[in-house]
Copies of this chain bind each other. A is one copy, B any other.
């Protein structure tokens, strides 16, 4: 039987890249493709204890819960938000989600009618683009430089397109690894207040900072009216519990909770209870410090392994100050999607950059994850990658 799918999902198709990367995960290849934290660093003992404590509270721990999620965990999150200067919210203004991915999806679901305009960075998070496409939004990328979005272009595009919302990952972006300056953040908030544009601030990586003080979230500069802030325990605790959260104006959170009721009723409330126990009986911030220092070393190993190629002009990149990703630009004639099978044959994998573009893709870009491989694997892998660039350039194979 031939099935007639809904219009909103007809853009979904299994990509060649995904199929290659699926094979990679089964094989003997050093992968820099995924966005995985290192499971060697997981606080499994503490999580086991947390589940024991949650389950010891008796049968009620396993009953249906509130759609908004386990309230004591929402209260802990409010405290953690206050430490980031995101204030003026209560547990009522927090919705727990199945990973922060669901926060993006529910927000789009309650906000986006077909044809509504969403402004994004360029490049931006691939799976957010997929969500927005599935709600038939019109996605308009705004120019970015090393300090964040370019404000002049933002203003022009707000005037031209009258966007419903903006989606930004201002701190250690996926995929670019970049961070907005405070000045840009302040300017952004002025602009969105002036033009009444909602901002969805996606911050899964903000805690993974390698040096200095934390960056001020955009939500901390708003007055609780225009910015929604989402983050997750996936990168700082563990991914399997699929617990993210979103905090923002109550009216919107309330509408998202109603949409969540239709979507999945509520997320896994035992996981919420275990995370509450983890946050109250375990030094999560100390743990974050320790993973930060491991990831910082791996980032340094990656940067050092790429330095020669950078100096020789084979590649360009900005050293990440945090997060999980390094974004590479190669010589303009290279097509990193076309080169992926060759890289896999050599023994490494990456994600080609093109799908992260809402506008015209730069085919000569790629995203490298530095948190899942060891320093040694990173050194071996970057040697393989840069040697491939040299070979291809020598061959003068114009793959574009």
Contact = CB atoms under 8 A, between A and B. Distances in A.
B55 A1 contact: no
A83 B156 CA distance: 62
Contacts of A252: 3
Interface string A101-115: 110010001111100
A164 B255 contact: no
Max chain B C-beta neighbours (<10 A), residue from A12, A64, A113, A116: A64
A238 B6 CA distance: 33
A112 B261 contact: no
B97 A264 contact: yes
Given A39-B59, A102-B264, A111 B5 contact: yes
B240 A63 contact: yes
Interface residues of A, number: 76
A60 interface: yes
Max chain B C-beta neighbours (<10 A), residue from A55, A112, A225, A270: A270
B62 A52 contact: no
Contacts of A61: 44, 240
Contacts of A226: 1
B105 A264 contact: yes
A173 to B, nearest CB: 18
B39 A268 contact: no
B44 A262 contact: no
Contacts of A130: 261-262
A262 B98 contact: no
A242 B264 contact: yes
